[in-house]
Amino acid sequence: MEIAVVKNAIESLDELLSEAKRALWDVQKEVFGIPSNGGYAYPREALKGLLDELCDVLLVVLDAADMRETRASLINKWRVFIHDRGLGHTNDHQGFQNCDSPALTFLDRLIKGLRIAVGKPIPNDEGWTVRKLDEVLRNTSVLVCKRQSPPADEDDLKKIMHNYLHACFRDDFRRNPTVGGILKDFKPDCGIASVGAAIEFKFIRTKEKTGVAVSSIVEDANGYKGSKDWTRFYAVIYQAESFISESDLQNELKRSEATEWTAIVVNGPMAPDGLLERRKPAGWLSRRRRPR
């Protein structure tokens, strides 16, 4: 293997790979009806074109690097992708509203293998990950509406969004990560490790609960300061009506000097208030004083 050839090509391969991932994300939004802020007009065609270009570049690189067996393996595998269902084929997972591309996954792993072989660090594609995370969180209400039943409380909301975030960021998703504080450790609802992003969800059913939710977020913002591993923070408020605006929440965070926090406020449906009581298991009163 000609190591110098591979090292010189890695950056260009990463750029094409990143574009293909963006196209796949746009395919996912199109398949599941998630609102899009820009992106490819015809994402599946874009995905096909980018994968084809990436394969062509890889074939040249592998040839120049004298990696004949790897090149032959890529050619054979590519024929299978093309003749099976085509390069634009994706596996669409309805339960998690997630799409994956077998061809893209194959190329991603091959390029990672090349990086390891020549001693180049694997990038976390930070910009793409942050954009995707921001878009998923801003579409919280849309994703919730696609479920069979709306959330009844904050735990329900977290379960729904944890499933989506885990599907979108499989290797990076962390449930209840530990953020080290000055006096004590904190545990946000979830996080995306590769970009150091911690996320807090708040559920507001009535206007009276708004102050409590905002105070809790401000307290978290003060506690999370100084963490080396977690440097981005998202406060996501899911409310039944327009009790608080996103700009109001962002201003509260600014007043607390929480400049690394992003406020996201969405409105969405909620299950009837009494549903929560009906969901509790039989005998739950035995763990507390029974009413007389």
Structural domains of the chain sorted by starting position, each given as residue range(s) with its CATH number in brackets:
3-123 (no CATH), 127-278 (3.40.1350)
CA distance 50 to 52: 5
What pLDDT is stored for residue 223 in this prediction? Answer: 79
Q: How confident is the model at residue 151 (pLDDT cuts 50, 70, 90)?
A: very high
Query: Is residue 37 predicted with pLDDT exceeding 60?
Result: yes
What pLDDT is stored for residue 285 in this prediction? Answer: 44
Q: Over range 272-286, report the average pLDDT.
A: 54
Q: How confident is the model at residue 183 (pLDDT cuts 50, 70, 90)?
A: low
Collapse the DSSP code of 144 into the 3-class scheme (helix H, G, I; strand E, B; otherwise coil) and give the result.
helix
Q: How confident is the model at residue 52 (pLDDT cuts 50, 70, 90)?
A: very high
Tokens of 1: 């293997």
Q: Over range 220-228, report the average pLDDT.
A: 79
Mean of all residue pLDDT scores within the chain: 84
Q: How confident is the model at residue 286 (pLDDT cuts 50, 70, 90)?
A: very low
Q: How confident is the model at residue 279 (pLDDT cuts 50, 70, 90)?
A: low
Q: In angstroms, what is the C-alpha Rg of the chain? A: 23
The tens digit of pLDDT for each residue in 265-277 reads: 999 999 887 655 5
The tens digit of pLDDT for each residue in 120-136 reads: 665 667 777 888 898 88
Q: Residue 168: what are its φ and ψ, rounded to 5°?
A: -80, -30
The angle, 0 to 180 degrees and rounded to 10, between the axes of the packed helices 43-64 and 102-118 is 30
Q: Residue 234: what are its φ and ψ, rounded to 5°?
A: -125, 130
Where helices occur in 176-269 by DSSP H, the ranges are 210-223, 246-255
The tens digit of pLDDT for each residue in 94-128 reads: 766 778 899 999 999 999 888 888 776 656 677 77
